[in-house]
Amino acid sequence: MDDATARAVAYVAGRLVTDRPSGGVIDRLDGTYTGFTGDVGADRVAVFDQVSACWVLGRRQDAGPLWLFSQQTAQYLSLAVDGHHAFSGHDQATHHGFEVLAETSGCVEVIDHQDGRWRRYRLPEARLLVG
């Protein structure tokens, strides 16, 4: 799984679990911030990664997983809820599965089955600016 896909998956899963606005993700390993804009809902996703300048778009059909299309890889990936804070999926770009663990605190871990790599992120809570 490439880094842009992992960031987007972490952002979507984190938003679903925390149910709060956030403008992006922070990589907990190196501290880099990636901004995201758009909407995340249980049945529809449309988010724009401001670093890779790519959209991740998708929707859920019936009670199945979210099917997301990544402009970065031009491939689909699935994201299914396995438990209250756990997700699993399959990345068609790499032909490998992945798992996601998200906490209500905004901490998200993406475990890539292709290389066994763990990616750790944090979703900072969005702050409203009052003028």
DSSP letters of 40-68? E-SSEEEEEETTTTEEEEEEE-TTS-EEE
pTM score: 0.92
In a domain, 128, yes or no: no
Q: Domain range for residue 42?
A: 3-122
In a domain, 90, yes or no: yes
In a domain, 9, yes or no: yes
In a domain, 35, yes or no: yes
In a domain, 65, yes or no: yes
In a domain, 84, yes or no: yes
Tokens of 89: 């999926």
In a domain, 95, yes or no: yes
> pLDDT digit of tens for each residue in the chain (131 aa)?
999 999 999 999 999 999 888 999 999 999 999 999 999 998 999 999 999 999 999 999 888 899 999 999 999 999 998 888 999 999 999 999 999 999 999 999 999 999 899 999 999 986 544 54
Indicate the number of domains in the chain. 1
Q: What is the pLDDT of residue 127?
A: 56
C-beta of residue 122 within 8 angstroms of C-beta of residue 26:
yes
In a domain, 8, yes or no: yes
Non-local CB neighbours of 100 within 8 Å, separated by 6+ positions: 9, 10, 13, 79, 86, 87, 88, 89, 108, 109, 110, 111
How many CA atoms lie less than 13 Å away from 112 in the CB half-sphere? 20
Q: What is the pLDDT of residue 19?
A: 87
